[in-house]
Amino acid sequence: MQSAEILSPESQNSHSSQNVNSRERWLSVVIGSAVAAYGLSRRSIAGITAAGIGAGLVWRGASGYCAVYDALGLTSVPESNHDTSNVSVPYGRGVRVEQTVTIGLPPEEIYTFFRNFENLPRFMSHLQSVTVLDAKRSHWVTKGPAGSDAEWDAEIINEIPNELIGWRSIDDSQVDNAGSVHFKQNPAGRGTDVKVILRYDPPGGVLGAMTAKLFGEDPAHQVKEDLRALKMLLETGEIASTKGQPNGLPHRAKLRERLAEVVR
């Protein structure tokens, strides 16, 4: 199954060449400079991280090469020689995410919880709902970035009880995607490694995903946080949160905060 995730050899060897198209290169320089300036103007960890991301974007724009794209195995320079007729997410397109978490339960319990897809919105913050249609098919509705909702039907394409579940979106879905989750028991009571691999073609193309990333919608981060939430939910019965707790911000500042959220 790994081989399906790997790109064609040409694009793999593209370290010195370009994998970012010209419109994106231009945008990268503009956004990157802004982010770097913003980041450097703040002395916090987030600021330093932002400055780093910003600098990376400028380099990406200037050079036409993006290490992030390369690491994910994708490119926004059009390629013509791929046969894309029969897969949810054609090779070399979309976003690929792989994240693992250890959960202190036997694989059976985690598998059973996960296999009931209607449980997924309990820990996946961007999922609105999943409705199980029959043994193989389900209907997924998301809360997309910046309020852009999406929905699709998915079918299970591969399944080994207590070991793995693989699924993909069916035909003309708004967000073409495919995913799998793998459960591997560790020795000596060290729980179960739960690995999720996702590939998807986000609305707005690859740049859409990059832009979303800048606004805190980084898909790898998202999957990682969702897995963290799954671990918390299964190990403790709740997901750690401080939402709604008091603080001493004056009323006006709070209002400004809420306004900023609405505008976003």
Partner 1 sequence: MKAVCWFGKTDVRVENVPDPTIINPHDAIVRVTLTAICGSDLHLYDGYIPTMMKGDILGHEFMGEIVEVGAEVKNLKVGDRVIVPFPICCGRCWFCKNDQWSLCDNTNPNAWMVEAMYGFGGAALYGYSHMYGGYAGGQAEYVRVPFADINPVKIPDGLPDEKVLFLTDIFPTGYFAAENCDIKPGDVVAVWGCGPVGLFAMKSAWMLGASRVIAIDRVPERMRLAREACNAEVVDFEEVDDVYDVLKEMTGGRGPDCCIDAVGMEAHGHTADALYDRVKQVMRIEFDRAHALRQALHCCRKGGTVSIPGVYGGFIDKIPFGAAFGKGLTLKMGQAHVQKYVRALLARIERDEIDPSFLITHRVRLDDAPAMYRTFRDKEDDCIKVVMRP
Let me know: does 128 contact 141? Beta carbons within 8 Å. Answer: yes
DSSP codes, 132-159: E-SSSEEEEEE--GGG--EEEEEEEEEE
DSSP state of 245: -
In the region spanning residues 49 to 78, those forming contacts with partner 1, defined by CB under 8 A, are 49
| Binding mask of the shown chain, residues 33 to 52, with x at each position contacting partner 1 by CB under 8 A | ----------xxxx--x---
Sign, CA dihedral 68-70-74-77, equals positive
In angstroms, the CA 180 to CA 183 distance is: 10
Nearer to partner 1, 99 or 138 (CB): 99
Nearer to partner 1, 130 or 229 (CB): 229
Radius of gyration of the chain (CA): 20
Minimum CB distance to partner 1, residue 78 (Å): 34
Minimum CB distance to partner 1, residue 144 (Å): 21
Largest CA distance in the chain: 59
Of residues 144, 191, 202, 219, which one binds partner 1 by CB under 8 A? 191
| Candidate segments 62-70, 154-162, 169-177, 220-228, binder of partner 1 by CB under 8 A | 220-228
| Candidate segments 24-32, 162-170, 175-183, 228-236, binder of partner 1 by CB under 8 A | 228-236
DSSP state of 240: -
Minimum CB distance to partner 1, residue 30 (Å): 25
Minimum CB distance to partner 1, residue 236 (Å): 5
Does position 221 interact with partner 1 (CB under 8 A)? The reply is yes
With CB under 8 A, what is the number of residues at the site for partner 1? 32
Let me know: does 89 contact 176? Beta carbons within 8 Å. Answer: yes
**DSSP element (H, E) containing 177:** strand 176-185
Nearer to partner 1, 104 or 205 (CB): 104
Does position 224 interact with partner 1 (CB under 8 A)? The reply is yes
Of residues 23, 122, 136, 190, which one binds partner 1 by CB under 8 A? 190
- The tokens for 42 are 């703040």
Q: How many CB atoms are located within 10 Å of the residue 45 CB?
A: 8
Nearer to partner 1, 105 or 207 (CB): 105
What is the DSSP pairing of strand 176-185 with strand 164-169? antiparallel
- The tokens for 52 are 């780093």
| Binding mask of the shown chain, residues 231 to 250, with x at each position contacting partner 1 by CB under 8 A | xx--xxxxxxxxxxxxxxxx
Does position 104 interact with partner 1 (CB under 8 A)? The reply is yes
- The tokens for 228 are 């963290």
Minimum CB distance to partner 1, residue 60 (Å): 21
- The tokens for 43 are 């002395």
Chain residues binding partner 1 by CB under 8 A are: 43-46, 49, 102, 104, 190-191, 221, 224-225, 228, 231-232, 235-250, 253
